[in-house]
Structure formats: C-alpha cells, structure tokens
Chains A and B, each alone.
Chain A
C-alpha cells in the first residue's frame, strides 16, 4: 500500500509545542474512531486521514473550541461511527440496555430454578424409601424398587 510510506511521520509540524494542548488532543483522539482502520482510534492510527483529523482537533482547540464542539463537528461529517462510545439514543437503546435486560432475565431464571429445586428437596421420603436408603448406608445390597417415584 503506497499510502503507508507517509504514515510514519505526520504532516509538517514543529517538533515540540504546547504539551498541555498535545495532551488534550491525544485524550480526545482516543475517543474518536479512525474510519480507515476501523479498529483503531485516530490517536493510534497512522492512516493519513487519522493524521488529518488529529490536526483538525488540534487546530480547533487552538481556535478555542471545546471537546463537545469538536465532537459535534466530526459527527456532523462522519456520523456517530466516528465515536468509539456510541451515544445513548433511541436507535442504540437495545445496545445499551440489552445486556442489563439479559442479566436481569438470567438472574430471575436462576432464582426461579433454585427455588424450585429447594422445594423438590423438601419433599419427604416415603417409608419404603427410608428403609432402602438405610439398607444402602449400612452396606447392604440394594433392594429392588417397590415403587417408582415418577
């Protein structure tokens, strides 16, 4: 891929600038997805577009915009996809609440099963079963079953 050669070094920038600014750029860049290498943030990616977008973020910070304004600017152009953390809205309701609902449903099911099992265990043994159990415990041979429980 020819584009890779230019990746190693970002577009012309003085080597050291305001470290506080760079910190802010990096922090916000970690929350933004690179559209070319989709599993990387624009802070991690060396794709030329990621470099361009980092420069955009830096320029807008310099121009006095805040994080929210810059994120809005990028979302207006690239959509919610540019955000690593999807926003909470009606179309993403299942995404955000689904795992919670599954957890609640699973816990409910487990509770139901446990209660049912406890109820089963509480069923007393019949006299014949008692006798058979005692015989087994005392090391005797199992007597043929006289009645099936189910």
Chain B
C-alpha cells in the first residue's frame, strides 16, 4: 500500500518504453503482403531489344533479384555501385524494372506525349544512365506506365525483390541496397535459397 505513489511513475515508464520503441521503427518501411507469395506475372518490352518482351516465367528455376530503378531516382545513384559490385560477384542475376522512366520524372511533362515517343525517350534515357554508371543487370524491362510496379506494391524507387526458383517473392528491400544489406541479408539469403533448391 505504501508504494501506491509509484503507480503513476510505473505507468509513465511503460508508456515511455512503448514510445521509445516506436522511435526505432521506420514508418516508411511498409511490410509487403507479397512475401512468400508468387511474384505477379508480367510481360514487358526489354530495354536492350524493345521489339522483344521478357516474362517473369523465364527466370523459373533461378534465384534472382528484381530491382526497381529509374534514371531520375536520386537514391538509385547511391545504390548503383553496390548493384554493380553485386553483379560482379555473380551471386544471382539482377533483372532491372525500369519504372516510369519518363512520366515519373517531375521535370518532364509527359501528359501529351504519345506512347511511342515516350517509350523511345525512356529507352534513350535508360541507356544513357547505364552507359554512364555501369550496367549490373542481366537485362532491364520497361514499365512505362508503372502498372507492373503497382502489381508488385512498389511505392518508391529503388526497391528490390528477392525471388526464388519457384517464382515466389522471399524478401523485399525498400530503399537503396547498401554493402551492409548485401552482406547481412542478400548474400546469406541467396545462398540459403540456392541450397534449398
């Protein structure tokens, strides 16, 4: 009974504890409902051969990464050397999903642009960027209108999906990949998935 005066103090400490924990969370990282679910099927034009398409099924049997990028994306520039390095190590093929290359760039008004013209401009810009910064991708595909991005629940660029041999998404990385995330997350998980077959 004597310790009754401690009750408000304890309540305060519990509340402060919850709030302190809340500060360590990142509200920008929204957990994806697609984890351990089949990656949404898509078929898109290839950046290197726009007349040809690439479909998700073509990666069946491989552990691979789908990296969402665009030349207007500032954080992608920070991530790019890490991707180039990752590609050199040949851990897993990286497929680039070039996301809204033209209409995603706030400095271009693409509203009145015909789709052919927009696609041509997207190809030119994407190629230019890869020439300037190196090309870590097995191939890139063009998501001109961002429709495939929506299917993957993309809400910012860059994002990277780790996909297993059966075409299931096993991990989603939001924001730029860092050397630490390669060592701590990507490399071990890729090895593990490869071993599991």
A interface residue numbers (CB < 8 A to B): 1-7, 9, 11-12, 35-36, 38, 48-49, 52-53, 56, 75-81
Q: List 9 A-B contacts (CB under 8 A).
A: A4-B106, A6-B103, A7-B106, A35-B155, A36-B155, A49-B156, A75-B33, A79-B30, A81-B31
Task: Closest A residue to B152 by CB, please name it.
Answer: A77
What is the distance, in angstroms, from B163's C-beta to the closest C-beta of chain A?
Answer: 16
Majority DSSP secondary structure for residues of A touching B = helix
Instruction: Compute the total of residue contacts between A and B using a CB distance below 8 Å.
Output: 62
**B137-172 interface mask toward A, CB cutoff 8 Å, 1 = contact, 0 = none?**
000000000100011110110000000000000000
Chain B interface (Cβ < 8 Å from any Cβ of A) = 27-28, 30-34, 72, 100, 103-112, 146, 150-153, 155-156
In the complex the two chains form, is B72's CB within 8 Å of A12's CB? Answer: no
Q: Are B150 and A56 in contact (CB under 8 A)?
A: yes
Q: Are B106 and A76 in contact (CB under 8 A)?
A: no
Known: A77-B152, A81-B31. 13 other contacts (CB 8 A): A3-B105, A6-B108, A6-B109, A6-B110, A11-B103, A11-B110, A11-B111, A48-B103, A52-B146, A56-B150, A76-B33, A76-B34, A79-B153
Task: Determine the main DSSP class of B at the interface with A.
Answer: loop
A78 touches B33 (CB 8 A): yes
Query: Which of A9, A49, A80 is B111 in contact with, Cβ under 8 Å?
Result: A9
